[in-house]
Structure 1
Amino acid sequence: MAKNYKQLTESIKRQLNPENFVLRKSFSDELATISYSDVLTYIRVAMKGVEPEYTQKSMEAGEHVKEHLSNKLSNIVFRYQGSVMTNTHIKGFSDIDLLTISDKFYLYDANNVKAIISNPEKSSQYYQSSIDKLQHEISVSPYQGNPINDLRILRFDSEKILKEIYDICDTTKPKAIKIKNKSLNREVDVVIANWYDDVISIINNKGDYRGIQIYNKTTDNRENPDYPFLSIKRINEKSTETNGRLKKMIRFLKNCKANSDQNIDLSSFDINAICYDIDVSEYKTLSFYELVPILYNQMKSIC
């Protein structure tokens, strides 16, 4: 069945601006004077980011949660993760992920660190400054507490605090506490986690290279390490290098998935990876509509 791209375009406009903020004049004027076919208009709109005013309200909801938790908890730090941090979110009512990270301890990839230190052949592949950092990591006294118990208590205490404040507070999900700020009409996922450092994180002075392990309430254990801050850093940097084209492609694929009649089994992470993997030289000077065949060829090469 042929697609009605005019209807699809209107649908995406509502997603971009669900609360009817006044569109920025430059983009509003552009849409009013655009002379492209419905398909090209759809492509243009599908690549557009959500209105900044909408995103700001999502951030405000996250900041309110941070304030409530920090007032009653100690030894924690907060970070945001997800597509809001790269401005590649598309859904009008998408939530924001607030990582609540225990600062009482951190874990690191001890096996690989020790394997490098103890093996001259492996050690020779690293600068001495990097070896010094790895040796320092081994020399640090191990945490004497119980990491799982710390995470369990942090999850329990966070649930208790948020249930007292928010009427809508879902504590049944294994990896997140979902609240809704009714005055801002925003949802926030509160995710309990601990820091995790692999070899790359250690030799790069941690920072955005640090990983996390999310606490799973159902299994009462930690998930495998994830590196959300490095992903955010890479997407933001490469999109700057391409004058925003990378993020346009990511948003376009997300909108295609959202508007498809088919069940497309691709996560946001998958879509990020597909677009990020494309050689910058193939698209860094292209117009917006010329990015579509680039995406088509990339998808075809994968399939």
Structure 2
Amino acid sequence: MARDINQRLQQLRTRRDGTGGTVNEGFTLDSLFAKSALPVELWESRGKADQPHTRYALGSMQAVSDTYTKVSKETAFRVANQLKDRLAKRGIVAEFELQGSVPLDVHIKGVSDVDLLTLASELFSYDVKGFKALHGKYCNPAKRTALEVLIELRGHVETDLADAFSAAKVDKTGAKAVKISGGSLARDVDVVPAVWFDTAQYQLTGLASDRGTKILDKKASKTIENQPFRHIELIGARCDKIGGGLRKAIRLCKNIKADSDRNITLPSFDIASTMYHADMKALRLGSFYELSILAETQRHLDYLACNHGVAKTLYVPDGSRLIFDTNEKLRSLNDLSRDMDELLDAVYAEHTPAYLAQYLMSDKRQAISKLAA
């Protein structure tokens, strides 16, 4: 974490309002938002003048403005509309869905890139152990494999994006996504070719959130099964039950990672999955005492960092894999935990005139969890 709190606050503002020069060429905040002055957000006026760490902690939890998020989604669907028409001319019927941090509302950048699933409707695959499969409900086998369809779709996506947005940059080097940026696009969009995958759970429920996808790993020339909508549904539902505290904890961790002087490489998906296992009763207190979210986030990360054996037993929300499946992820967990320790300690000091460094972290957490700021 950058040690200078004023620098951290400026970095936080820059991420949230997009003034750091990351808006694509041809777009400015003035052109996007009718030349109105950038508003001062509520979190910037919270806490006293001598409590910048408190302000940073609170700001890091907040959702990005709906205005910025709307632009991100609209840009993705603009790309989708171009692809839909061009693929249709090739005889390919495509469906489009958003995945990742933006639809889950845990993105931390005002100018945030967007993941756009581009699903070929020609075929879908399914779990052969599912109810419908075992009862012979899938009786028309596809003429081609998912890998064949995805390789073809990937090639068309690369060509059609370049044709549709001639002034934009199309990066074809990604294993799973084709990134398009610049030109007339207000946001970067990662286009992910995919086909549907009917999971065993989806075969029972028919719920959209239970349906999976298969995407292409171009470099390995293989398909990968994902459940992006299940991830969004599980985290979103758990968060909604406790008044929003889980999303705030995830955003807090992601902002800490973004500002860290340490090399934290833990992906956003795994950060969200980690906080999914936190104490929801403690995060629920954030509806009344928002700094209790900082207290529980620090406690949870500290516990896992001190107990790698426990950390290595935790699964991502959909149960498809372990979260901490590499030593590098465990190292990043330790670094994220240290940064969170430092932030909690600094916030505690701002609210405690008789601050003593030797006080136990558990005592500091308890004090912070009951602060109104």
Using the size of structure 1 for normalisation, the TM-score is 0.85
Work out which of the residue numbers 279, 282, 288 in structure 1 matches 2:290. 288
The AA in structure 2 aligned to 1:230 is R
Give per-residue Cα distances to partners, 1:171-211, cap 9 Å, x unaligned: 12221111114334311011001111221121121411111
State yes or no: 1:239 paired with 2:239: yes
Give per-residue Cα distances to partners, 1:224-253, cap 9 Å, x unaligned: x11110111122222221221111100000
Q: CA deviation at 1:293?
A: 2.0
The AA in structure 2 aligned to 1:147 is A
State yes or no: 1:83 paired with 2:86: no
Q: CA deviation at 1:8?
A: 0.8
Contact 2:2-2:261 within 8 A present in 1 as well: no
What is the CA–CA distance in structure 2 between the aligned matches of 1:55 and 1:181, rounded to whole Å? Answer: 18
Contact 1:134-1:203 within 8 A present in 2 as well: no
Work out which of the residue numbers 57, 60, 68 in structure 1 matches 2:74. 60
State yes or no: 1:96 paired with 2:98: no
Q: 1:100 to 1:29 in 2, by over 3 A?
A: closer
Contact 1:9-1:46 within 8 A present in 2 as well: no
What is the CA–CA distance in structure 1 between the aligned matches of 2:162 and 2:184, rounded to whole Å? Answer: 16
State yes or no: 1:35 paired with 2:45: no
Q: 1:294 to 1:30 in 2, by over 3 A?
A: closer
State yes or no: 1:153 paired with 2:171: no
How many percent identity over aligned positions? 29
Name structure 2 gaps, 5 residues minimum.
Answer: 20-28, 306-373
Structure 1 stretch 95-104 or stretch 31-40: which is displaced more? 31-40
Q: CA deviation at 1:271?
A: 0.7
Contact 1:210-1:229 within 8 A present in 2 as well: yes
Aligned to 1:186, the other structure's residue is in SS state: coil
Kindly report which structure 2 residues correspond to 1:177-196, keeping only aligned pairs within 5 A, or say none: 177-196=178-197
Give per-residue Cα distances to partners, 1:19-65, cap 9 Å, x unaligned: 5566897x735533642611111101111121221111111211111
What is the CA–CA distance in structure 2 between the aligned matches of 1:172 and 1:16, rounded to whole Å? Answer: 28
Q: 1:178 to 1:288 in 2, by over 3 A?
A: same
The AA in structure 1 aligned to 2:98 is Y
Aligned length: 282
What is the CA–CA distance in structure 2 between the aligned matches of 1:205 and 1:18, rounded to whole Å? Answer: 40
Structure 1 stretch 182-191 or stretch 30-39: which is displaced more? 30-39
What is the CA–CA distance in structure 2 between the aligned matches of 1:85 and 1:67, rounded to whole Å? Answer: 18
Q: 1:158 to 1:184 in 2, by over 3 A?
A: closer
Aligned to 1:263, the other structure's residue is in SS state: coil
Kindly report which structure 2 residues correspond to 1:1-303, keeping only aligned pairs within 5 A, or say none: 3-19=3-19, 28-29=41-42, 31-32=44-45, 34-35=47-48, 37-73=51-87, 74-110=92-128, 112-113=129-130, 131=131, 133-136=132-135, 138-166=137-165, 167=167, 168-223=169-224, 225-286=225-286, 287-303=289-305
Contact 2:16-2:111 within 8 A present in 1 as well: no
What is the CA–CA distance in structure 1 between the aligned matches of 2:285 and 2:38, rounded to whole Å? Answer: 25
Aligned to 1:284, the other structure's residue is in SS state: helix
The AA in structure 2 aligned to 1:28 is E
Aligned to 2:285, the other structure's residue is in SS state: coil
Structure 1 stretch 258-267 or stretch 211-220: which is displaced more? 211-220
What is the CA–CA distance in structure 1 between the aligned matches of 2:136 and 2:83, rounded to whole Å? Answer: 30
Using the size of structure 2 for normalisation, the TM-score is 0.70
The AA in structure 2 aligned to 1:163 is A
What is the CA–CA distance in structure 1 between the aligned matches of 2:97 and 2:186, rounded to whole Å? Answer: 21
Contact 1:61-1:184 within 8 A present in 2 as well: yes
The AA in structure 2 aligned to 1:186 is R
Q: 1:279 to 1:8 in 2, by over 3 A?
A: same
2:366 paired residue number: none
What is the CA–CA distance in structure 1 between the aligned matches of 2:217 and 2:290, rounded to whole Å? Answer: 41
Q: 1:2 to 1:239 in 2, by over 3 A?
A: closer
Q: 1:109 to 1:29 in 2, by over 3 A?
A: closer
Contact 2:84-2:93 within 8 A present in 1 as well: no
Aligned residues: CA RMSD: 2.3
Structure 1 stretch 75-84 or stretch 35-44: which is displaced more? 35-44
Q: 1:140 to 1:301 in 2, by over 3 A?
A: farther
What is the CA–CA distance in structure 1 between the aligned matches of 2:110 and 2:179, rounded to whole Å? Answer: 17
What is the CA–CA distance in structure 2 between the aligned matches of 1:5 and 1:23, rounded to whole Å? Answer: 25
Contact 2:69-2:110 within 8 A present in 1 as well: no
